[in-house]
A and B are shown apart, each in its own frame.
Chain A
Amino acid sequence: MGNKLAKFKEAAFGFGFLMPSLLGFGIFLFYPFFKSVYLSLHSTNPRGQIVDFVWFDNFKDILGSEHFYQSIKISFLFALMTIPTCLIISLCLALLTHKKNKINIYFQLIFASSIAIPIGNASVIWKILFHPTAGMFNYFLSFLGIDPIGWLTDPAYALISVSIMTVWISIGFTYLVLLSGIKGIPEDLYESAKMDGAGSSAMVRKITLPLLSPAIFFMSVISVIGALQSFSQINILTEGGPANSTNVVVYDLYQEAFVNYRFGTGSAQAIILFLIILLFTIVQFRIAERKVHYS
């Protein structure tokens, strides 16, 4: 009897400790998640109240419109331009600066610095740098004899410009994760490889990269999710323009729900976004099962 009471008391403590988190997740994550599913099957008035149950009409509307595929395409292009670039640059920088010495501390601080720059602030700085006539980028280009570029005003360049800025802001975190991963590799592995006469590039290929693959994998999953969720820089730099050339999925969703006040179709778009992200995460995990090396 005493044993049972003790077990009950133990469980009560367990749920007591979990309660704050469970409450928070319950009210602001799980409830709204199911509410989104519910809203996506209804039409709503501009105040967010349910008007009618419409089955999958919202989804049919979205999936039947050219506009939506365009925004999906832009989101993927954006992911494709930002993620590999950011990973490769961060990886090179981390490989070159992971050793503990007096100079590397400063390099580490600089390369990680963008993690501390809020994306809203960074976007405003970059908007000024991108300015067609008075911006510094076009000024620097003039040294190279290149004509001014309409970084954010030319549909051919806008997505590239937003991508450059995004790579810059993402390097901080990516670099930190990869640097931590490299620092976690035991020093004696290198020592013994050195004994066997391995050169530095061989050591990177045979030791660092395989042992770093979980960190690289983690970063690529996080980056795909992050890229598909990008909003702030688009809102500040281009507002989806010019000519919809930077109208990524989340920006489109924001417009639908909070500018046009169509919460039903907005929710349906959010559900589609969730499914796309889920699908990508699963695919990445499938690939990783074969490729990633866990010690």
Chain B
Amino acid sequence: MISRLQRPAALIILILAAVVIIYPIYYAFAASMMTSGEMDSFPPHLFPSSLYLANFKLVFSLVPVAQFLYNSFVVAIAITAGHLLTASLAAYAFAFIRFPFKAFIFSLFVATMMIPWEVTMIPNFLTIRNWGWTDSYWGLIVPFLTTGFGTFLFRQFFLQLPKEIFEAAKMDGLGHMGAFVRIALPLTRSAFATLAVHSFIGAWNMYLWPLLITNEESMRTVQIGVTMLQFEEFTSWNLVLAGLTLMMLPPLLLLVFGLKQLVGNVTLGALKG
């Protein structure tokens, strides 16, 4: 289909694009394995001369990277679990249960995707402060346990399931709770995986909210911790980048293993609503 000349040309463009796109990530990984001498030399090194891991050790001793990582994991996992639970339950109700005001409530869920988060930020900040939830996991997690996007995603998947299964289950005396746990959830594992990857990455990336409600070092997430690295006494870049590398690894690994889930499913919730 593509002519003989086009194919190599396209390949060259793709390789160039790949190099440009991967470069900042590569740079962070490479520089984190360089010694200070290598970092300061001119012309700059493009590759680290050896697998030098002392920066990682040093960064662990200078900044509580382990604490930041732990905080981010707690927050991201809790929010992901919350999304999976609240979204799948709500989606089941919209797909299979008859109740009054369904259309109206559904439109409320649509509206949640229209309100930019910044509009609710100031009152949410005041609420969390009034509840004494600043510098706590509660404050970082609880405001984010629901998701309009996830509800749509699950609803799309539920609506694609054959109705007959549910009718048969009803005949056998299975209630909604039973049908939800034993039929709907097991049949929509890919929606689960998609939303899990999406929510985890989203929660891991949160920046402005943790910046607002955490002050204590022990409650900071990696996103805020990383800017702290920058402002610490040492501005040695290889150390900053070593810290960064450690913090970037979890979502990157998740992408490598979860890419297949994301391709194909990421648009489902949004496009076919």
* Pairwise interchain contact A119-B205, C-beta atoms closer than 8 A: yes
Chain B minimum-CB-distance residue to A267: B122
Q: Is B187 an interface residue (CB 8 A)?
A: no
**A113 contacts the other chain (Cβ, under 8 Å)?**
yes
Bound together, the chains give a CA A179 to CA B44 distance in angstroms of 37
Cβ contact within 8 Å between B271 and A21: no
Of B51-59, B161-169, B245-253, the segment with at least 4 beta carbons within 8 Å of chain A is: B245-253
- Give the CA-CA distance A84 to B258 in the complex, in Å: 28
When distances are taken between beta carbons in the complex, the residues of chain A under 8 Å from B115 are 29, 33, 274
Q: A17-B176, A121-B223 are in contact. Are A273 and B119 (CB under 8 A)?
A: yes
Q: A218 and B27 in contact (CB under 8 A), knowing A109-B259, A231-B208, A257-B122? A: no
Q: Is the CB of B263 within 8 A of A11?
A: no
Q: Is the CB of B145 within 8 A of A171?
A: no
Task: Find chain B residues with CB under 8 A from A22 CB.
Answer: 105
Q: Which of A254-293 contact B (CB under 8 A)?
A: 254, 257-258, 263, 266-267, 270-271, 273-274, 277-278, 281
CA of A89 to CA of B11 in the docked complex: distance in angstroms?
A: 15
Output the least CB separation between A132 and chain B (Å): 14
Interface residues in B, total, Cβ within 8 A: 94
B94 vs chain A, min Cβ distance (A)? 8
A36 to B223, CA, bound (A): 27
| A160 proximal to B (CB < 8 A) | no
Looking at chain B's contact residues, the main secondary structure is helix
Say if the beta carbon of A139 comes within 8 Å of chain B.
yes
Quick check: B122 and A36 within 8 Å, CB to CB? yes
Contact check, A11 vs B98: say whether CB atoms are below 8 A apart. yes
| Identity of the chain B residue whose Cβ is nearest the Cβ of A253 in the assembled complex | B118
B244 close to A112 (CB less than 8 A)? no
CB-based contact A116/B119 at 8 Å: no
Q: Tell me if B127 is interfacial: C-beta within 8 Å of chain A.
A: yes
Q: Is A208 an interface residue (CB 8 A)?
A: no
B112 CB within 8 Å of chain A: yes
Q: Are B112 and A29 in contact (CB under 8 A)?
A: yes
B222 contacts A118, C-beta separation under 8 Å: yes
Chain B neighbourhood of A277, CB < 8 A: 116
A207 interfacial contact with B, CB 8 Å: no
Q: Is the CB of B99 within 8 A of A11?
A: yes
- A124 and B235 CA atoms in complex are apart in Å by 12
What 0/1 pattern do residues 102 to 137 of B give for CB contact below 8 A with A?
100100110010111111111111110100000000
Known contacts A25-B108, A120-B226; A112 and B116 CB within 8 A of each other: no
Which residues of A sit under 8 angstroms from B267, Cβ to Cβ?
177, 180-181, 184, 215, 218
Contact of A14 among B98, B201, B270 (CB under 8 A): B98
**CB <8 Å contact, B254 and A116:** yes
A125 and B28: CB pair below 8 A? yes
Interface centre among B143, B222, B271 (most CB of A within 10 A): B271
A134 to B44, CA, bound (A): 9
Q: Are B252's CB and A281's CB within 8 A?
A: no
Asked if residues B255 and A263 are in contact (CB atoms below 8 Å), the reply is no
Q: Is A273 a contact partner of B118 (Cβ separation < 8 A)? A: yes
The listed residue (B127, B180, B211, B251) touching A118 by CB distance below 8 A is B251
Closest to B39 in A: A134
Say yes or no: is B43 at the interface (Cβ < 8 Å to chain A): yes
Known: A21-B146, A128-B240. A176 touches B44 (CB 8 A): no
Contacts of B204 in A (CB 8 A): 118
6 A-B pairs (CB sep. < 8 Å): A13-B176, A96-B13, A109-B255, A121-B226, A127-B230, A274-B115
6 nearest A-B residue pairs (beta carbon): A14-B99, A24-B146, A32-B123, A17-B93, A32-B120, A35-B123
